[in-house]
Structure 1
Amino acid sequence: MGSLRSMNWLLSIFVMLVLALPQSVAEDWLYTVRKGDTIWGLSHKYLKEPLKFQEIQKYNNIQLDRQLPPGVTLKFPMEYLKFAPAEVDVTAINGSVYFVRRGIKKPLTLQHTLVLDDILVTEKDSSVALLFADGSKLLLGENSELVFDIQTKWGETGMVDSRMRLMKGSAEGRVKPLIGPGANFEVQTPSAVATVRGTEFRVRVDDKDPGVVFNEVDEGTVAVQLHENRASVKQGFGIKTATNLPLSKPKALLPKPIFVNAQDKYPGHPVTLTWQSIDGAKDYYFELFEDAAMTKLAHKAVLSSNQVELPEVELGAYSVRVRAIDSDGLQGLNGTHRFVISPVPSSPSLEQGASSYLTGQPIEFQWSEKSDATSYRWRLAEDRQFQSLVTEEILTTTRKTLAAGLPAGTYYWDVAAGNNQGFGKSSVAASFDVKLPQQPVVTPIAESMPSDEALSVYWSQVAMATEYQWQISSDRDFKRIIEEGTTRDTRVDVSDLPEQQLYIRVAAKGPYNQFRYSEIQEIDIVEPSNGKTAFSIGSVLLFILML
């Protein structure tokens, strides 16, 4: 019994000693003195009871209040400081967002501020951007629910205590560096608590199992606590927690995607973005935002490939963000790009003419008119990629004619419509062929002919031909030309040819069509008959008949 009384007495003494301890046992707020500061002035600014300035002077062993040297650090007990409920501002709303206050659910507007015990709810394809009293920012994603547990501002000290519960969905934040013992930024989830002190982070509750939570850190450090265990997740690392599993070690996040040939300005739709594939990426998480701060989400998707074609959004400035997703579901570092989709006309439709032309034949190109276009860029190339460009012109009409035609080959052409903002995307290229006309076909001639007769050579007419060149040679290689000439007709008569084997060919002259000769014709020029031979043969025949 006596020992019990002694224990109670000792406990009473301990409690009195604790109550009588100097305020320095509790954490203090530290203030660096500036020129002109006084204990009296600082107490009126920061203390709930300004008349306690003398206690602050004693607490800091200050003798002369008005002779505080700049740079000296003063200690203020936290319980002496002014504090008040802090408010959270709404800076951007996308889609349908609500808040619940005292059991009443209302649509959220930019004019609302959020306070202690408020519940914030976002629906599908919706998000809301928040600004806390210390300048920290948080973006609450779709299908999310956030409860504000503590929102306290410590007067003008700059310390803000922000604690909240993410019941479902996702949030990402940029937290200002926390200074002082009263400053906190804490997000509690169904499986873990994330304490942030100046960083960029993401936290996401699994939509299929709320006991699974993903924490990813882009910058700084986040302390993640699961039950009694605690892990420090540093920049470039993430951690996956589950209520039924022990706390795992942080895992390195996949690197940020690097965009390939990304442009600052795209001439209308469609816009296709490509990035380098990342080893270890199971999928890619893609987001399209309407603002540079990436708070107004316009489109999102989980992609299996490293390429995406944007939806038909309105023309203007956009930001995209891509993250690689690993096998554990952790999302990697952000790859971002800012660009403009210009208000330019869409692609015209080409009116395809003939698929084949002859060299020198006029070629006409025509396309549909765009009401918002002031000019058109017409291109002609020898390849589908338009690397081997033949010609390019800026026109104000929807028609282009090449009166002189083109050399033989395969060609591709397209058209882009433009205005004062630039040219839109080129149309799908159309192609056509330009061919040489057939060579002349020489009419077959006799195998032989007397040298005293004129040789008549006939050939077929060739399209686009301006004249024809004919040649007669004593050798098949036409190295020993006997006769040659040009004519606009499709025949020629040649006399006084030598008695020997001769070779004949004809070529048509015309646009892009020179020296393509016909097949070679052969003829044997023989000695002419003199009449005697014919009389002798006739006499022999008459003699035979008379027998």
Structure 2
Amino acid sequence: MRVWLSTAMLLCLLSTAWAGDDWHYTLRPGDSLWKVCQQFAQTPQTCWGKLARHNDLDDPHVLHPGDTLLVPTSWLKEKPIPATVDAITGEVMLYPASGGEPRRLSNGDVVGFGDALETAANSSARLRFADQSEVHIKPTSLLVVTRYRRFLNHQNERTELRLQRGNIRNRVSPRQSDEASFEVYTPGAVAAVRGTEYYLGVDGAETTRNEVIEGRVDVGARGTERQIEGGYATLAHVDEAPIEPVALLPAPAMEVTASHTGVVAAWHTQSEARSYLLELYSQPAGRLLNQDYLSSGHWQKELPVGDYRLLVRAVDENGLRGDESWHAFSVPAPPIEPEPVPEEEDAHWDVWVFMGAAALLLAL
């Protein structure tokens, strides 16, 4: 049964997320309004005064590093690049931060600051940012896009998301700065990265699970921070600190056989795995077509002609999903059956017909 976001919950999620069409600049030591305007504004001579009023600053000469300065994007030299969605499967809803009517997303649609995205049980989408970072939103998920990086040349911009429930896979483009450029908040923890590939999931708003494929993710909760390297994972229950990192279960050794009738995948089971997560993607679009949890090392499906990628991950007793096993394959068109050869006609058929007709006339 499909359960969409209630109006009350939506207003609660979005009430603090929207700040209009502004660029969020994080102040650094030594920053001043004049320096910010000189570096980013089209008309720095008049920008600084308007910027003070736009941010309701009591004293424009007193700024605190770490605070956020809101700069209207129309004042900026560089054109901002919006976040867009693609690879949509099924029905994916967008709840605008401005309070407008919810609408169904289509490929290429723009996502603004504070917008909430919700996927149904058999739906998914991919969210793309200006720096080529990607977030793949899995089925039955609710994600609020608090803010995101919109300029390629501004190194101090950050992307902040809130995953209320469900699962996402993040591929974050590396940054030159050592500061975290990508943060995801959940009801029980926060995951901060500079550049990496990792998964994040929220189970019923009670447990946050983080599995790191490459790089490093800093996961913090209840005053405790864990540094999770590639090949490791952690989980955090609400109001509890994250557990010590545990090794991901190894990627299943998978064999895939494809023909015009479909595909068969098989892999050796692992003693520590309680189940296996399987995901099927179309290529080259990267749309998630199918997601299954299996108890055995066997899967098969009839598929139309096309190119695909199959992902299998072992799941341990804590619900942490292991390393990735990817396999690309193609389903070919069925073989063309040769046309039947017509039987050779009797060369003397016409002669026999003529002779028969002549004999009949003579008899008459």
1:277-308 CA distance string (max 9 Å, x none):
23311111111111246x31111211111111
Say if 2:186 is the partner of 1:189: yes
* Distance across 1 between alignment mates of 2:89 and 2:118: 12
* Distance across 2 between alignment mates of 1:83 and 1:252: 45
1:229-248 to structure 2, matched below 5 A, reads 229-248=224-243
Partner of 1:320: 310
* Distance across 2 between alignment mates of 1:271 and 1:172: 25
CA offset at residue 82 of structure 1? Answer: 7.2
* Distance across 2 between alignment mates of 1:343 and 1:138: 33
CA offset at residue 146 of structure 1? Answer: 0.8
Say if 2:195 is the partner of 1:198: yes
- 2:270 aligned counterpart, secondary structure: coil
- 1:25 aligned counterpart, secondary structure: coil
Pairwise CA RMSD: 3.1
CA offset at residue 259 of structure 1? Answer: 1.6
Partner of 2:291: 300
Is the 8 Å Cα contact of residues 262 and 304 (structure 2) preserved in structure 1?
Answer: no
CA offset at residue 327 of structure 1? Answer: 1.0
- 2:317 aligned counterpart, secondary structure: coil
Out of 257, 267, 270, which is 2:259 matched to? Answer: 267
* Distance across 1 between alignment mates of 2:30 and 2:338: 74
Query: Do the aligned partners of residues 168 and 318 (structure 1) sit closer, same or farther apart at CA in structure 2, a change above 3 Å counting?
Result: same
* Distance across 2 between alignment mates of 1:250 and 1:140: 24
Q: Could you tell me which runs of 5 or more consecutive residues in structure 1 were left unpaired when the two chains were aligned.
A: 1-22, 29-42, 53-76, 346-371, 376-395, 398-547
* Distance across 2 between alignment mates of 1:333 and 1:86: 33
Q: Could you tell me which runs of 5 or more consecutive residues in structure 2 were left unpaired when the two chains were aligned.
A: 1-26, 47-65, 74-79, 342-364
Query: Do the aligned partners of residues 182 and 284 (structure 1) sit closer, same or farther apart at CA in structure 2, a change above 3 Å counting?
Result: closer
- 1:124 aligned counterpart, secondary structure: coil
1:10-36 CA distance string (max 9 Å, x none):
xxxxxxxxxxxxx983589xxxxxxxx
Partner of 1:431: none
Partner of 2:12: none
* Distance across 2 between alignment mates of 1:250 and 1:181: 22
* Distance across 2 between alignment mates of 1:180 and 1:243: 31
Is the 8 Å Cα contact of residues 321 and 337 (structure 1) preserved in structure 2?
Answer: yes
Partner of 2:271: 279
What is the one-letter code of the residue matched to 2:231?
G
1:480-533 CA distance string (max 9 Å, x none):
xxxxxxxxxxxxxxxxxxxxxxxxxxxxxxxxxxxxxxxxxxxxxxxxxxxxxx
What is the one-letter code of the residue matched to 2:259?
P
* Distance across 1 between alignment mates of 2:29 and 2:288: 48
Query: Do the aligned partners of residues 248 and 27 (structure 1) sit closer, same or farther apart at CA in structure 2, a change above 3 Å counting?
Result: farther
What is the one-letter code of the residue matched to 1:135?
Q
What is the one-letter code of the residue matched to 2:210?
N
* Distance across 1 between alignment mates of 2:81 and 2:299: 42
- 2:170 aligned counterpart, secondary structure: strand
| Greater gyration radius | 1
Is the 8 Å Cα contact of residues 221 and 236 (structure 2) preserved in structure 1?
Answer: yes
- 2:276 aligned counterpart, secondary structure: strand
Equivalences, count: 286
What is the one-letter code of the residue matched to 2:29?
V
The alignment-based identity, stated in percent, is 29
CA offset at residue 162 of structure 1? Answer: 1.0
Say if 2:29 is the partner of 1:25: yes
Query: Do the aligned partners of residues 320 and 27 (structure 1) sit closer, same or farther apart at CA in structure 2, a change above 3 Å counting?
Result: farther
CA offset at residue 173 of structure 1? Answer: 1.0
Is the 8 Å Cα contact of residues 46 and 155 (structure 1) preserved in structure 2?
Answer: no
Q: Which structure exhibits the higher relative contact order, with contacts defined as CA atoms closer than 8 Å and separated by 6 or more residues?
A: 2
Is the 8 Å Cα contact of residues 154 and 182 (structure 1) preserved in structure 2?
Answer: no
Calculate the TM-score normalised by the size of structure 1: 0.48
Partner of 1:176: 173
CA offset at residue 111 of structure 1? Answer: 3.5
What is the one-letter code of the residue matched to 1:299?
N
1:74-113 to structure 2, matched below 5 A, reads 84=73, 87-101=82-96, 102-103=98-99, 104-113=101-110
* Distance across 2 between alignment mates of 1:106 and 1:223: 34
What is the one-letter code of the residue matched to 1:225?
G
Is the 8 Å Cα contact of residues 131 and 173 (structure 2) preserved in structure 1?
Answer: yes
Query: Do the aligned partners of residues 24 and 161 (structure 1) sit closer, same or farther apart at CA in structure 2, a change above 3 Å counting?
Result: closer
Is the 8 Å Cα contact of residues 221 and 240 (structure 2) preserved in structure 1?
Answer: no
* Distance across 2 between alignment mates of 1:281 and 1:317: 29
CA offset at residue 257 of structure 1? Answer: 1.2
* Distance across 1 between alignment mates of 2:166 and 2:70: 36
- 2:102 aligned counterpart, secondary structure: strand
* Distance across 2 between alignment mates of 1:152 and 1:292: 26
1:241-260 CA distance string (max 9 Å, x none):
10143321011000111123
Partner of 2:281: 289
